[in-house]
C-alpha cells in the first residue's frame, strides 16, 4: 500500500492551496492530491463568466497550475480517482478502484455536488448543471446550436447562466419557485432591481413555478411547468443548490452535519484529519456559530488554514467571507453572513430608483453581513467593519444614508 | 488592446517593481482582497484597483496574485520581466 505523509482528497482550490502551504514549511514530506476529476487545478469560477464562455479570453486561461508547478513543488497528482472509504484508526483511505492509500495526515476537500432535478426527462442530453470543467464544456457545445434556453433557480448560478445564455443570443426563460429572484437572501426591492435588468434585455422570468416534466427525444425539446405552461427549449440549466456527499466520512466516525464539522483550525474530530472548502462546516469565530460557505475565496483561505494546521503551525480561520458577481449590467455582492431566516436587523442603503441598493445586517451593536447591488466599491470597507467588530449602534442613520462614506466608521 | 492598469511598487525589500491589473480578465471575485486587503479595493465597476502597492511583502503579494481565479493580476520584477503568471 502506497503511503504519503500528507494526503489530500480533492484537487480544487482548497486542496491545492493546502498542498502549497504545507510545502512552504515541509520541503521533504511526501504530498499527494487525489481528485475525482482528471484535471490539474483550474478556475471553477471562470466556468460561468461571459468572457471565458463566449471565447473572448482563450480557453487555456482556465488552467491555474500546470504540470510544471506540481513537479516543482513535488506534489503528486492522482487524477480520476474517487475515494469512498476512510479508516481513521489504520489511517488509510479506500478508492473505488479497490486500491488503498495510507497517510499520516489527511485533508478532505472534496467540495459539494450540484443538486439534481428530480422530474421525468431529467436524464436527457442538454440538461445541464454547472460544477466541473466537463459540465462547462457540455454547455458551451450545446449553446452553439440551441436557440432557446431555460434556466432554473434564482441564485448565483441561475443569474450567471441566464446572463450567459442571453449574451450567447438564446431566448432565455428563467423558472423560479420563489416569488422573486434571489428570494429569500435578497428582499423584494433588491430582487426587483435584478429582474428589471434581466427583463430589459429580453429574459422572461416565471415566478412561483417549477418544471414538472422535460420533454423531447434524446435531446431536450421543451419543458412543462406546474401551471401547465409549455416552453420550447433545446437547453436547460439547473442551478438549484448543492449537496454534500459525506456518507463515507460519516461512516468513518467523523462528525458531520450538513457538511463535515470542523473547528476554527479546520480540524475534524478525528485524529490527523482536516477538512477545507465547500464541504466544511467550520466554527466561525466572527459569527460564533457553525457555517458552511461555498465560494472560491473562502475555500482558498480554508485551504491555507488547514495546510498550516497540518504542519503544526496552527492558525485560526477568522475571515469575512464574500462572493461577487456581475451580469445584466449589475454587480452583486454578498459579504459576511447573509443567511436568511435569522433574527437580525436590516438597514437599507440606496434605492430601487437609483438601481443601487445595499442591505446591511446587524446583530446587537455590530455588522454581520451585507448584500450589495451596484455598490461593490463598499465591499472592502464593510468586510473591515465586520472583521473589526466595530460598534455601529449609534450609526444607523449614517448606514442608511447612501451618500455617507462608510470609511468614516473605521477606526 | 487589453484594458490594463499599472501600479509601480517601490519597496526596498521587494523584487517586484510593478503590479498590473488586467481589467478585462478581472471579475471582482476579490480573492486578492482576502489575501492582501491593504493592497486592493474593488471599484464601482466591480474591478480591482491597487490602492497601496507597497503595503505587503513579496510572498503575500505573490499569494494574492496566485489566488486570482482569472489570472488578472500580473507581477513584474524591477527589470520589467513578468514573474507571475509564469
Q: What is the mean pLDDT of residues A210-238?
A: 97
Q: Report the SS3 class of residue B32.
A: helix
Segment A68-107, tens digit of pLDDT: 999 999 999 999 999 999 999 999 999 999 999 999 999 9
DSSP string spanning A212-266? EEEEESSBEEEEEETTS-EEE-SEEEE---EE---HHHHHTT--BSSSEE--TTS
Task: Say whether both A128 and A163 belong to one domain.
Answer: yes
On whether both A122 and A176 belong to a single domain, the answer is yes
SS3 A396: helix
Sort out which chain A residues have CB atoms less than 8 A from B43's CB and list them: 376-377
The mean per-residue pLDDT over the stretch A385-410 comes to 95
pTM for the full predicted model: 0.94
Residues of chain A with Cβ-Cβ distance to B46 below 8 Å are 324, 326, 331, 333, 376
Q: Give a yes or no: residue A315 inside a domain.
A: no
**Residue with the larger pLDDT of the pair A339 and A227:** A227
Average pLDDT value for chain A:
95
What percent of chain A stands above pLDDT 90?
A: 91
pLDDT average, residue stretch A335-361: 92
Are residues A286 and A144 part of one domain? no
Q: Encode burial over A66-81: b for 16+ CB neighbours within 10 A, e otherwise.
A: eeebbeebebbbbeeb
Q: Quick check: A328 and A163 in contact, CB under 8 A?
A: yes
Asked whether residue A203 falls in the same domain as residue A101, the answer is no
Please list, in sequence order, all residues whose beta carbon lies within 8 angstroms of the beta carbon of residue A79, skipping any fewer than 6 positions away: A11, A35, A37, A38, A39, A40
Mean pLDDT of A5-25: 98
Query: What was the ipTM of the complex prediction?
Result: 0.90
Mean pLDDT of B46-53: 95
pLDDT at B1: 56
Q: Nearest-CA neighbor of A374 among A321, A320, A323, A324?
A: A324
Residue A155, classified by CB atoms within 10 Å of its CB into exposed (0-12), middle (13-18) or buried (19+), is: middle
Is residue A317 assigned to a domain?
no
**Domain check: are A181 and A79 in the same one?**
no
Residue A207 shares a structural domain with residue A266: no
Q: Chain A within 8 Å of B43 (Cβ-Cβ)? A: yes
Residue in the structure block whose three cell numbers are 480557453: A59
Using pLDDT thresholds of 50, 70 and 90, give the confidence band for residue A391: very high
CATH of the domain at A355: 3.30.390.30
Q: Are A249 and A105 part of one and the same domain? A: yes
Residues A149 and A171 occupy one common structural domain: yes
Number of domains, chain A:
3
Query: At residue A397, what are phi and psi to the nearest 5 degrees?
Result: -70, -35
Length of chain B: 86
Write out chain B residues lying below 8 Å of A325, CB-based: 27-28
Measured CA to CA, the distance from residue A87 to residue A213 in angstroms comes to 42
Are A204 and A125 contained in the same domain?
A: yes
Range of the domain at A350: 322-409
Domains of chain B: 4-77 (3.30.70.20)
Kindly state whether residue A149 falls inside one of the protein's structural domains.
Answer: yes
End residue of a domain, out of A212, A238, A264: A238
Residue A161: per-residue pLDDT:
96
Residue A115: the pLDDT is 96
User: A47, A57, A388: best mutation site toward chain B, by most B Cβ within 10 Å?
Assistant: A57
**Binning pLDDT at 50, 70 and 90, where does residue A398 land?**
very high
Residue at A316 is within a domain: no
Q: Does one domain contain both A204 and A248?
A: no
Residues A227, A250 share a domain: no
| pLDDT at residue A340, as a whole number | 83
For the segment A284-342, what is each residue's pLDDT rounded down to a tens digit?
988 788 888 889 999 999 999 999 999 999 999 998 988 899 999 999 999 998 988 77
A192 and A80 belong to one structural domain? no
Which range (A27-31, A227-231, A288-292) has the least confidence? A288-292
Amino acid at each position: 500500500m502506497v503511503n504519503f505523509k500528507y494526503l489530500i482528497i480533492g484537487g480544487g482550490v482548497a486542496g491545492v492551496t493546502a498542498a502549497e502551504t504545507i510545502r512552504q514549511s515541509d520541503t521533504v514530506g511526501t504530498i499527494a492530491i487525489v481528485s475525482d476529476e482528471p484535471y490539474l487545478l483550474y478556475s471553477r469560477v471562470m466556468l460561468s463568466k461571459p468572457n471565458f464562455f463566449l471565447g473572448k479570453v482563450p480557453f487555456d486561461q482556465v488552467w491555474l497550475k500546470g504540470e510544471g508547478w506540481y513537479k516543482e513543488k513535488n506534489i503528486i497528482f492522482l487524477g480520476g480517482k474517487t475515494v469512498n472509504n476512510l479508516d481513521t484508526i489504520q489511517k488509510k483511505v479506500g478508492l473505488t478502484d479497490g486500491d488503498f492509500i495510507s497517510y499520516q495526515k489527511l485533508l478532505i476537500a472534496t467540495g459539494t455536488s450540484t443538486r439534481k432535478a428530480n422530474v421525468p426527462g431529467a436524464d436527457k442530453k442538454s440538461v445541464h448543471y454547472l460544477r466541473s470543467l466537463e459540465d462547462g464544456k457540455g454547455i458551451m457545445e450545446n449553446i452553439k446550436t440551441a436557440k432557446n434556453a431555460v434556466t432554473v433557480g434564482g441564485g448565483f448560478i441561475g443569474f450567471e447562466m441566464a446572463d450567459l445564455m442571453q449574451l450567447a443570443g438564446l431566448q432565455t426563460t428563467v423558472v423560479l419557485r420563489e416569488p422573486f429572484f434571489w428570494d429569500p437572501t435578497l428582499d423584494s426591492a433588491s430582487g426587483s432591481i435584478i429582474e428589471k435588468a434581466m427583463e430589459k434585455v429580453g429574459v422572461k422570468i416565471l415566478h412561483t413555478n417549477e418544471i414538472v416534466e422535460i420533454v423531447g427525444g434524446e435531446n431536450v425539446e421543451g419543458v412543462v411547468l406546474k401551471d401547465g405552461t409549455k416552453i420550447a427549449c433545446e437547453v436547460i440549466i439547473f442551478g438549484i443548490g448543492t449537496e454534500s456527499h459525506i456518507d463515507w466520512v460519516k461512516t468513518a466516525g467523523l462528525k458531520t452535519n450538513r457538511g463535515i464539522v470542523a473547528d476554527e483550525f479546520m480540524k475534524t474530530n478525528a485524529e490527523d484529519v482536516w477538512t477545507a472548502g465547500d464541504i466544511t462546516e467550520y466554527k466561525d469565530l466572527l459569527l460564533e456559530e457553525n457555517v458552511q460557505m461555498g465560494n472560491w475565496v473562502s475555500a482558498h483561505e480554508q485551504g491555507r488554514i488547514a495546510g498550516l494546521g497540518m504542519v503544526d503551525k496552527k492558525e485560526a480561520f477568522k475571515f469575512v467571507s464574500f462572493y461577487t458577481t456581475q451580469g445584466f449590467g449589475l454587480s452583486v455582492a454578498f459579504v459576511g453572513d447573509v443567511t436568511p431566516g435569522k433574527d437580525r436587523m436590516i438597514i437599507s442603503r440606496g434605492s430601487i430608483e437609483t438601481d443601487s441598493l445595499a442591505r446591511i445586517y446587524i446583530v446587537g451593536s455590530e455588522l454581520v453581513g451585507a448584500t450589495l447591488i451596484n455598490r461593490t466599491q463598499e465591499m472592502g470597507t464593510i468586510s473591515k467593519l465586520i472583521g473589526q467588530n466595530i460598534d455601529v449602534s449609534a450609526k444607523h442613520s449614517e448606514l442608511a444614508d447612501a451618500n455617507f462614506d462608510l470609511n468614516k466608521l473605521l477606526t | 488592446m487589453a484594458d490594463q492598469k499599472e501600479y509601480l511598487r517601490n519597496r526596498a525589500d521587494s523584487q517586484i517593481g510593478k503590479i498590473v491589473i488586467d481589467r478585462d480578465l478581472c471579475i471582482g471575485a476579490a480573492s486578492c482582497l482576502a489575501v492582501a486587503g491593504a493592497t486592493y479595493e474593488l471599484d464601482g465597476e466591480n474591478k480591482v484597483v491597487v490602492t497601496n502597492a507597497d503595503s505587503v511583502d513579496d510572498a503575500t503579494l505573490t499569494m494574492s496574485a496566485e489566488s486570482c481565479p482569472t489570472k488578472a493580476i500580473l507581477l513584474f520584477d524591477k527589470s520589467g520581466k513578468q514573474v507571475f503568471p509564469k
